[in-house]
Structure 1
């Protein structure tokens, strides 16, 4: 019986220690680097203020801001409260004219 417990303890210790190691391949993986979140820069998308919101304008603003995601927010739209530094928001009035640009 003690032999079984010692073997089980050794296997569990090796499994825990194996999880602590790192490999250099994952750090150099280009796919992982491309899928990382980039930070949104709202100032670069301020050209859209005063224009009527459209899918094409949203995409252009997203690209210029360097955001991963973008959305158009109308006055009565419900939004979630989580902050995402990689998301661009184009805030519009009731006529879909953009009045504010921010990230989050």
Structure 2
């Protein structure tokens, strides 16, 4: 089971991250690349409202271990992490883009 550390209604803090529990079932690959995020099929989430359920769907689709919500205008580090997916939101809390790293 995957737990999401996303505040209720995503209103309080959109900087929350979610981490998959060890041993979570993700498609593909061996254990070495179990949590390598893949950008394929992430465009389908653009335009949808930000919810905890959507975050879970994105984690599953990307194969990532960590999820980070990025609010409109928020600054983020340039550090690349192969196990992270970032969800960039617009001013209406809708997904503007989704990308690994």
TM range (shorter): 0.5 to 0.7
Does structure 2 retain, via aligned residues, the 8 Å contact 1:45–1:61? yes
Residue number among 21, 35, 52 corresponding to 1:38 in the alignment: 35
The structure with higher relative contact order (CA 8 Å, sep 6+) is: 2
1:92 and 2:53 are equivalent in the alignment: no
State which structure, 1 or 2, has the greater radius of gyration over its C-alpha atoms: 1
Does structure 1 retain, via aligned residues, the 8 Å contact 2:50–2:94? yes
Q: Which residue of 1 is the match for residue 45 of structure 2?
A: 48
TM-score (ref. length: structure 2): 0.62
Q: Which runs of 5+ in 2 are unaligned?
A: 1-22, 24-29
TM-score (ref. length: structure 1): 0.60
Aligned runs of 1:60-75 on 2, under 5 Å? 60-75=57-72
Q: Deviation per CA, 1:40-64, whole angstroms, max 9, x where unpaired?
A: 1122222211100111101111111
Question: What is the aligned residue count?
Answer: 73
Q: Which runs of 4+ in 1 moved over 3 A?
A: 33-37
**Larger displacement relative to structure 2 (34-43 or 72-81):** 34-43
Q: CA RMSD in A?
A: 2.1
